[in-house]
Amino acid sequence: MYEADEYEERIVLDDDPFLEEAVIRQLVIQLRAMDGYGTYDTWTDARVLDPLVLTKARRKAIPVVGDPDETVISRIKAFYNAVSHMIEQETGLMAAPVINISHEGFGRALILVGKLVAFDKVLRDVHRFGFESLEAAAGEAQKIVQKAAALINEHRAVAEL
């Protein structure tokens, strides 16, 4: 798991243009919603998102083998919740993320729309979950949304069940 040290230089800055992307805005909402202790209340959006950005140096600091903790799992859930929200906006149908992760960091992420599996991804080494930049996170999310929306439109009858 990577947790930014408060003295470490942040990668995501407050003026990052990708903070305005719809999926990134939704990711911030999801992360803040999962913060039951109010830790993020005084943090800027950039600071909340910063641990999701794993540069080569940050990734190198994470052991190759490790078990995910609850913070990392909540980031994964927040990402797929945000993607599901964007799929809902795109298609007008409710999308439900289903995340199953073992204590060893392996599992699966599904996004269900009605009876249709609109997205399916095998998760490995989730203790190293993150993106090279906010741009990469937004791009990955948009790619998932586009593929899921195309599948939903192709099989709309199943998605509406």
What sign does the dihedral 133-134-137-143 (CA atoms) show? negative
Q: Quick one: pLDDT band at residue 87, thresholds 50, 70, 90?
A: very high
Domains and CATH numbers, the chain: 17-159 (1.10.3100.20)
12-49: burial string, b at 16+ Cβ within 10 Å, e else = beeebebbebebbebbbebbbebeeeeebeeeebbbbb
* Global pTM value: 0.89
What is the model's pLDDT at position 140? 96
**Above 90 in pLDDT, residue 117?**
yes
Percent of the chain with pLDDT over 70: 95
Q: Quick one: pLDDT band at residue 132, thresholds 50, 70, 90?
A: very high
Beta 107-113 vs 95-101: how paired, if at all? Answer: antiparallel
